[in-house]
């Protein structure tokens, strides 16, 4: 399936859209990390939780559960929230 990548992570993928496979978000992120080493760590913390400044949308719905099931035609978009002060 196609995965949209935010600009701050383009140093890993070199493309705004990449292909990955997985029956769940966890499997999809594992496949992305296999293709683009280090990418998963930017999204997931040491406790296997989505980092607070990261958002994942599946078919335009925000998903925080990494066990969320995926279907072959799903659209996945990763968004990095802006922060600062």
Give the model's pLDDT for residue 81.
81
**CA dist 13 → 65, 80, 85 (Å):** 24, 15, 28
| Domains in the chain with CATH codes | 2-80 (3.10.20.30)
Residue 85, pLDDT score: 52
User: pLDDT tens, position by position, for the chain (85 residues)?
Assistant: 999 999 999 999 999 999 999 999 999 999 999 999 999 999 999 999 999 999 999 999 999 999 999 998 999 999 998 765 5
Q: Cα separation of 48 and 40, whole Å?
A: 10
């Amino acid at each position: 399936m196609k995965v949209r990548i935010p600009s701050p992570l383009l140093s890993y993928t070199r493309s705004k859209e990449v292909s990955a496979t997985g029956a769940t978000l966890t499997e999809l992120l594992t496949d992305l990390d296999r293709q683009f080493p280090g990418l998963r760590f930017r999204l997931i913390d040491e406790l296997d939780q989505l980092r607070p400044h990261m958002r994942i949308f599946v078919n335009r719905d925000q998903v925080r559960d990494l066990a969320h099931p995926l279907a072959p035609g799903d659209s996945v978009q990763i968004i990095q929230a802006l922060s600062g002060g």
